[in-house]
Amino acid sequence: MSVMQTPGADGRFGQFGGQFVPETLVPACQELERAFTEAWNDALFREELNHLLKTYAGRPSILTECHNLGRELGIRLFLKREDLNHTGSHKINNVLGQALLAKRMGKKRIVAETGAGQHGVAAATAAALLGLECKVFMGAVDIERQELNVFRMRLLGAEVVPAQSGSRTLKDAVNEAMRDWVATVESTHYCLGSVMGPHPYPYMVRQFHRVIGDEAREQCREVLGGDDPDVVVACVGGGSNAIGIFSGFIDTHARLIGVEPAGGAAVGRGVPGVVHGMKSYLMQDEEGQVQEAHSISAGLDYPGVGPEHSYLSEIGRAEYPSVTDTEVIDGFTLLARTEGIIPALECAHALAWIKRAAPEMQGQVVLMNLSGRGDKDVAQMMDILGKK
């Protein structure tokens, strides 16, 4: 079995990762790598972070067995309830870590990108808690479909700036955030929201999210009499919630399934390329131009994927199927109807795959990371289901 990799000195997982950034950002990436390494090895930093995760974010998040849906599908289905964290998703784990790190580095300001708004809300929350200035870049299209989260960010004191270039979605918000960071690097930390970007971000963000997998493994073994689940499933855009839960089961027999949107299947349809400072699987045309991604969920609207996911796919340790928007809508309503839990549209991708694959998994134990709650998507789904 594989184990979670520590990237080499060049910041790569196999051939993927690296540090493809302008010369002006090389010192900032090196400074961040040094600061994170020191902090992660500092017992006091880890203690402060764990204290915040427990007393502010609400960890450990619980494990819920879906008796009704499991019976309907012929499997035992467990949910890791990251939707119950403060701010409503797994994102708080990473931003608390990065905000503490920013303060440790003497930075007074953070910038962040966001798709569905959950990372932006979490970044604004951590900034308010720790007294940092916060600016969030969000695609203009995403601002329209996620009005509630935009209001929440502004209520928390963050400045929300629409990205008007390109497809005006997550990819373009990342571009704008990186431009801001280049111009203000002395005073600013870029609080990147997924396991992507230049080294050390993919590794650092994974380490901040390992708490998901570590907790889930212990909880599953307690419930299953020392056994691990047969299958571990999570949605994948950039891939932070998936790598977080995979990290607890990488060295077990469990199948690891990262579910992508059909319109943004970077692993399924992409080829290795460079975007946003990293080499990874990337949707691109024959000229190497980045193709636009599409997903019903703003949080998965990304043409690439984190380099560690690309590596896990290449070595055959994880699988990355895709699902359609129609399947996602069915998954969204299915969990609400059977279990009284409304999932984020991102997580409904994982549910859609579980429903599709259930006939081949009869009697198996399936663990799914419910990485966010669906409050933010209710207005969008009212419109979609109203039309149906």
Place of tokens 């995760």: 53
CB 185 within 8 A of CB 28: yes
The CA-based dihedral angle spanning residues 126, 33, 239, 108, taken in that order and rounded to the nearest 10 degrees: 20
280 three-state secondary structure: strand
16 three-state secondary structure: strand
Distance, in Å, from the CA atom of 111 to the CA atom of 190, rounded to the nearest integer, reads 5
Strand (E) or helix (H) holding 190: strand 188-190
What residues have CB less than 8 Å from 287, skipping those under 6 apart?
A: none
User: Which pairing describes strands 255-261 and 322-323: parallel, antiparallel, or unpaired?
Assistant: parallel
**φ and ψ at 358, to 5 degrees?**
-55, -40
**What are the b/e assignments for 195-218, b being 16+ CB within 10 Å?**
bbbbbbbbbbbbbbbbbbbebbbe
Distance, in Å, from the CA atom of 186 to the CA atom of 189, rounded to the nearest integer, reads 8
What residues have CB less than 8 Å from 83, skipping those under 6 apart?
A: 89, 341, 343, 344, 347, 370, 371, 372, 373
Residues taking part in catalysis: 66, 90
CB 256 within 8 A of CB 250: yes
**φ and ψ at 24, to 5 degrees?**
-65, -20
